[in-house]
Amino acid sequence: MAEIQVQQKNIPKLRFSGFKKSWKKIQLKNITIKIGSGKTPKGGRKVYENSGIPFLRSQNIMEGKLDLKDLVFINKETDEDMKNSRTYYGDILLNITGASIGRSSVNTYKENHANVNQHVCIIRIDGTVNAKMINQLLISPKGKNIIFRTQSGGSREGLNFKDIGNMNFYLPEKIQEQQKIGNFFTKLDQQIELEEKKLVLLEEQKKGYMQKIFSQELCFKDKNGKNYPKWVERNIKDVLGERQERSDVGQLLSVTINYGIIKFDEVERKDNSSKNKSNYKKVYVGDIVYNSMRMWQGASGKSEYDGIVSPAYTILYPKLDLDADFIAYYFKTHKIIHIFKRYSQGLTSDTWNLKYKQLQEIKLNIPAYEEQKKISSFFRKLDERIGLQSQKVESLKTQKQGFLQKMFV
């Protein structure tokens, strides 16, 4: 693969060696034998079944791949009524309405055929060009720009088949170059998918350990190989106090469900905080901070920073013989989050609130301090592995975006 130093007309910045000719302009309708969508089956969702013929919806069409986790099926009778909605292996599936408009994937479902609904367009390539390359072109920055312009020029609520067919792209003249590009991205996508599966496996492994360790099904041993003392039931007020210190000085922090306590400027959200922060709460490293209105969803964590947070948050400090990391992990278990939900007050989930007054009466089973340290150390190491794997996935995705930017005209 060679990078072109001086950009020439209709030649990508990066291409495989041995190919020199300029790419040619084509209209999508001239290389396809079908551009059309499916439809909603008679009876709507009532006809969905747990097995049978796959029925693909827009949520199954992701960026460059099919997501079959939320797959539904239809029976043969319904399928017979939807012959024009059938999609076969190798078709390009493009979302044409809604928030996911522009997402596309090659149909990789090999068993016979599937069906699609009216929100998904079937683009069937005629065989003169490489379908895998066309799909990668559609999800590339250049392809997305073409789709955006097509949508803006017509209906802002969706893409119609005529406009899709009239979209213009530049393609390599030789099918061999198309195949190389298509195969290159297919292998890269497979590598990304493999690393994503490893990440999911690690996350599932952590969930399993959380369940077994905090239910005491799996126990740690002391340095002599003996069991630690039995866990002791204690009220939260006996192990965690509430910090009430107020301050307008310090970096603004935020509580998230997935990432715990982070600096506010690392969050992709609008700053709606008051200019007058004199009533904000002071947070110190090692404090447990939680969102009073989202504790039932797991919005809590241990702070790694000194700072300030909104008065809507509750700040807890560990008392003697309580490891902050241990309690932070404990608060993320399914069982404890369910208890937080029961203790939250309010008429609806939008108003549920868990203040310290209610929280302090909740009972927890607390192990000896040394066992707490072993448990938190175990999960920190597991989190480090998950973090490294997550970085690997993101690095590959960034690398792919770079290739998509440079390898298409």
**Angstrom distances, CA of residue 145 to CA of 105, 140, 150:** 17, 9, 9
Domain CATH number, residue 96: 3.90.220.20
**What stretch of H or E contains 374?**
helix 369-406
Res. 216: pLDDT tops 90: yes
Q: Beta strand 240-242 with 313-318: parallel, antiparallel or unpaired?
A: antiparallel
The set of long-range contacts for 393-397, using a CB threshold of 8 Å and a minimum separation of 24, is: 393/192, 393/195, 393/196, 393/199, 396/188, 396/191, 396/192, 396/195, 397/192
Flag whether 348 is in a domain.
Answer: yes
pLDDT computed for residue 94 by the predictor: 96
CB-CB neighbours of 287 under 10 Å: 24
- Residues near 45 by beta carbon (within 8 Å), at least 6 away in sequence: none
Flag whether 124 is in a domain.
Answer: yes
Q: 88 and 59: one domain?
A: yes
Total domains in the fold of the chain: 3
CA dihedral sign, ordered 315, 319, 325, 330: negative
Q: Would you place residue 270 in the very low, low, confident or very high pLDDT band (cuts 50, 70, 90)?
A: low
Flag whether 211 is in a domain.
Answer: yes
d(Cα 289, Cα 314) in Å, to the nearest integer?
6
* Amino acid identity, position 338: H
Flag whether 130 is in a domain.
Answer: yes
d(Cα 287, Cα 331) in Å, to the nearest integer?
13
pLDDT computed for residue 203 by the predictor: 96
Q: 266 and 339: one domain?
A: yes
Flag whether 55 is in a domain.
Answer: yes
- Average pLDDT value for residue range 304-330: 95
H-type helices in 175-295, by residue range? 175-214, 236-239
Q: Would you place residue 43 in the very low, low, confident or very high pLDDT band (cuts 50, 70, 90)?
A: confident
Q: 162 and 206: one domain?
A: no
16-25, 60-69, 152-161, 386-395: segment of lowest average pLDDT: 152-161
Flag whether 11 is in a domain.
Answer: no
Res. 6: pLDDT tops 60: no
Flag whether 14 is in a domain.
Answer: no
Q: Would you place residue 378 in the very low, low, confident or very high pLDDT band (cuts 50, 70, 90)?
A: very high
Q: 189 and 310: one domain?
A: no
Res. 269: pLDDT tops 80: no
Q: What is the mean pLDDT of the chain?
A: 92
* Segments of 172-321 assigned E as strands: 232-235, 240-242, 253-256, 260-263, 281-283, 288-291, 300-302, 307-309, 313-318
Q: 30 and 158: one domain?
A: yes
* Amino acid identity, position 285: V
Q: 392 and 379: one domain?
A: yes
Distance between start and end Cα atoms, the chain: 16
Structural domain boundaries, residue 107 = 19-172
Domain CATH number, residue 219: 1.10.287.1120
Q: 279 and 300: one domain?
A: yes
Q: 154 and 188: one domain?
A: no
d(Cα 109, Cα 341) in Å, to the nearest integer?
41
Flag whether 297 is in a domain.
Answer: yes
Q: 387 and 331: one domain?
A: no
Q: 361 and 254: one domain?
A: yes
Q: 190 and 42: one domain?
A: no
Q: 244 and 319: one domain?
A: yes
Res. 273: pLDDT tops 70: no
